[in-house]
């Protein structure tokens, strides 16, 4: 699920390092649709997001957004420092966000959903202008001075208002609003250097000119379909050093020397050039952090997130690595035994991990992935998923017909509380593939839930985007199981967003930092691996009364958890490298990895001549100093699942309590306090370790 999100974007769009989540659907600007666009839209209470704008309307709307924003910021800046109050300094900024957020989304989404080049171009141009404008707003020293003056007056406000003001101050300061003009120019120069180096690192990683020539004998064990796709040169097969070629070879090739050759070649792909780029990036990031008043870049990056300090992250990673030791050792022993049987007395290296994991999986997991797919027709998966979320969280979804949407396959649903019938929000399903549409499954926001100054409430509105296959000749379109999990995960974000009851738009559930934003969705992924819930959204495509078997459900869970210890150890190694280099200056990255690798990876040496830092883009772009985040979220999600849900998956009382206690506050409360209060204790690593141990070897 994507470049890392900007402030108004959500981590859920994840491509390569995480993409933008902004939304409002727009239709094609074709004359054939013009009459449809002129129809009066059915009134939807609490929903003011606009749809079906033309390219010219997008430009005019962006102009109005910028003008209104400037007017509001100028008005706040003009408030005398001895006259500041919540009403004249803070409330106008909160109201501006509440009113303009859906308008901004209306300008930005067309590039994600429209096949019209004109609309996409207008949308991209509007996004660029709006991004530049909002960055300037966040750097306005005159507005920052007024907001800061308010914090010093001691006006009594509520806890959510206090948190909102704290977020405002922190956002201004992290964008350099309190710096002198010269230091601000230096900050912009450093950010520009970082962007240039990021681009160079990725360009080196994406170099498609690097390849290895191998004979069919050297590729023994590879599927025939894979070999057919390889270009033939001088009687040999051309293997590109991309994950599409490298990963299958490391998983399936029987020839150990070939696996090693490919692993080393890929590990050298970025080369010394990328290591040098990364080291320079780290130096510049430290300079940027010090300029903004932080001791190191890691503390800057982590400050707004759940751990808050780099020290807390390092402690977490080290404890996690230690706790996984016994499990990972047992897994490694099994793999070494398999290698001994197949290849004789040979040293076990990193090039062997994927191959023997795959071999063990074939022996220990009775699962035909091709056959499993037959049990997941798209429509059945979606209908089962919607029913499950309604039952678990006491929600009522009702499809709304005869509304203007941006494509005839898009469906709109209202969401109400099943007990009170109160309107909670809306969501659109735009799940079928079409040309020009964003290529990944993600959630985009149309509108944030918030309270407006006139006392009315805007309800949350979200869109689930995907590229599911369409029915063909009356045959049901089928989903691969990973696609089922991905859609379920993303729809969990939809429910998280719609469950939000915060006062301020700023505290929308889809504007949370990644650590907390991912926890509910990772928690709910567990329902995809439990028999009672998986049966609700499965059925054989030729006879949907026959759901997936309990044995298949167990195999899917076992497959997920196999070698969890070793897989996490690899992830922890790179997270530690990420954290150490962004906490300390002048670290030799290659020497650091050589030292850490055998310690974390149970004695397995680093492949000679390779440098993982040269081909690990998350450290360089998008996840710098926060690579730990996914593991952190997984641990919290596992604790919540084991403690509150595992023994009764469809317990509506538990689901409703989770909705009200964890999902509803959004960002209006400290996330660690929310989860600690819900659990009744400090979160623990143990449920995660135990669940993975129980389901592995």
159-to-146, 162, 163, 668, 670 alpha-carbon distances in Å: 20, 5, 6, 8, 11
Residue with tokens 């959510």: 160
> What's residue 341's pLDDT?
92
pLDDT tens for 377-408 read 999 999 999 999 999 999 999 999 988 888 88
Check if the beta carbon of residue 519 is closer than 8 Å to that of residue 675. yes
Q: What residues in the chain have per-residue pLDDT under 50? A: 1-40
Ranges assigned E (strand) in 419-542: 423-432, 442-447, 450-451, 457-458, 461-468
Rounded to whole angstroms, the Cα distance separating 51 from 58 reads 11
Beta partners for residue 398, in sequence order: 414
pLDDT reported for residue 368: 81
- Non-local (6+) Cβ contacts of 127 within 8 A are 22, 107, 108, 111
DSSP code for 429: E
Six-digit token string for 611: 């440098």
The pLDDT of residue 31 is 30
Q: How does DSSP classify residue 179?
A: S
Q: What is the pLDDT of residue 125?
A: 96
Q: What is the pLDDT of residue 345?
A: 77
| Burial degree of 130 (CB within 10 A; 0-12, 13-18, 19+) | buried
Among residues 1, 8, 16, which one has the least CA distance to residue 622?
A: 16
What is the C-alpha to C-alpha distance for residues 573 and 592, in angstroms, rounded to an integer?
A: 11
Catalytic residue check, 490: yes
> Which position among 251, 490, 525, 634 bears the catalytic label?
490
Say if CB 3 and CB 622 are below 8 A apart.
yes
- pLDDT at residue 593 in the model: 93
Nearest-angstrom CA–CA distance, 23 and 446: 5
pLDDT score of 577: 95
Q: State pTM to two decimals.
A: 0.91
Q: What is the pLDDT of residue 472?
A: 77
pLDDT of residue 52: 81
Distance CA 278, CA 625 (A): 12
User: Backbone dihedral region of 455: left (phi > 0), alpha (psi from -120 to 50 degrees) or beta?
Assistant: left
């Amino acid at each position: 699920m994507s470049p890392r999100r900007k402030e108004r974007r959500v981590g859920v769009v994840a491509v390569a390092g995480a993409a933008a989540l902004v939304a409002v659907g727009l239709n094609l600007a074709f004359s054939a649709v013009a009459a449809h666009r002129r129809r009066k839209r059915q009134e939807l209470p609490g929903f003011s997001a606009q749809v079906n704008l033309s390219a010219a309307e997008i430009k005019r709307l962006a102009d109005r957004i910028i003008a209104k924003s400037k007017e509001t910021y100028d008005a706040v800046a003009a408030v005398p420092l001895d006259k500041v109050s919540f009403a004249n300094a803070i409330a106008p900024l909160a109201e501006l966000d509440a009113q303009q957020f859906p308008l901004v989304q209306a300008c930005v989404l067309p590039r994600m959903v429209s096949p019209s080049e004109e609309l996409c171009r207008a949308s991209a141009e509007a996004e660029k202008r709006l991004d530049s404008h909002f960055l300037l707003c966040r750097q306005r020293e005159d507005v920052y001075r007024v907001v800061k003056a308010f914090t010093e007056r001691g006006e009594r406000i509520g806890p959510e208002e206090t948190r909102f003001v704290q977020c405002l101050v922190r956002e201004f300061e992290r964008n350099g609003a309190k710096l002198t003009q010269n230091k601000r120019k230096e900050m912009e120069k450093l950010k520009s250097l970082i962007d240039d180096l990021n681009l160079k690192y990725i360009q080196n990683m994406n170099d498609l000119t690097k390849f290895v020539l191998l004979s069919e004998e050297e590729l023994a064990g590879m599927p025939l379909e894979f070999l057919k796709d390889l270009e033939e040169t001088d009687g040999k097969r051309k293997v590109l050093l991309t994950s599409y070629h490298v990963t299958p070879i490391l998983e399936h090739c029987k020839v150990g020397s070939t696996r090693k050759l490919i692993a080393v070649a890929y590990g050298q792909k970025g080369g010394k050039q990328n290591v040098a780029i990364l080291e320079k990036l780290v130096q510049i990031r430290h300079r940027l952090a010090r300029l903004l008043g932080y001791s190191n870049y890691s503390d800057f990056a982590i400050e707004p997130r759940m751990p808050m300090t780099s020290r807390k992250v390092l402690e977490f990673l080290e404890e996690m690595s230690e706790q996984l030791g016994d499990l990972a050792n047992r897994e490694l022993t099994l793999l070494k035994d398999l290698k001994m049987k197949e290849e004789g007395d040979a040293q076990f290296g990193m090039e062997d991990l994927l191959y023997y994991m795959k071999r063990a999986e074939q022996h220990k997991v009775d699962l035909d992935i091709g056959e499993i797919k037959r049990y997941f027709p798209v429509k059945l998966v979606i209908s089962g998923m919607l029913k499950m979320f309604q039952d678990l969280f006491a929600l009522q979804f009702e499809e709304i017909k005869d509304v203007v949407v941006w494509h005839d396959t898009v469906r709109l649903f209202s969401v109400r509380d099943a007990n009170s019938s109160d309107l909670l929000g809306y969501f659109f399903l735009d799940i079928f593939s079409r040309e020009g549409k964003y290529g990944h499954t993600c959630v985009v926001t149309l509108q944030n839930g918030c309270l407006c100054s006139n006392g009315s409430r805007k309800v949350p509105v979200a869109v689930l985007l995907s590229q599911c296959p369409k029915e063909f000749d009356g045959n049901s379109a089928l989903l691969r199981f990973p696609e089922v999990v991905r859609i379920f995960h993303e729809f969990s974000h939809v429910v998280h967003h719609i469950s939000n009851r915060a006062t301020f738009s700023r505290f929308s559930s889809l504007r949370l930092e990644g650590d907390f934003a991912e926890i509910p969705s990772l928690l709910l992924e567990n329902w995809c691996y439990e028999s009672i819930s998986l049966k609700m959204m499965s059925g054989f495509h030729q006879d949907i009364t026959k759901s997936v078997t309990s044995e298949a459900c167990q195999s899917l869970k076992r497959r997920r958890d196999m070698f969890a210890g070793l897989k996490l150890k690899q992830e922890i190694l790179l997270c530690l490298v990420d954290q150490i280099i962004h906490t300390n200056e002048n670290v030799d990255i290659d020497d650091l990895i050589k030292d850490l690798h055998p310690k974390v990876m149970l004695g397995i040496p680093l492949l000679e001549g390779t440098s993982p830092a040269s081909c690990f883009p998350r450290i360089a772009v998008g996840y710098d100093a926060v690579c730990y985040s996914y593991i952190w979220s997984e641990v919290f999600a596992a604790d919540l699942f084991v403690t509150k849900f595992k023994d009764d998956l469809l317990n509506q009382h538990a689901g409703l309590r989770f909705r009200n206690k964890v999902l509803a506050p959004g960002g209006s409360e400290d996330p660690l306090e929310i989860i600690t209060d819900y659990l009744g204790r400090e979160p623990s690593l143990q449920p995660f370790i135990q669940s993975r141990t129980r389901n592995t070897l």
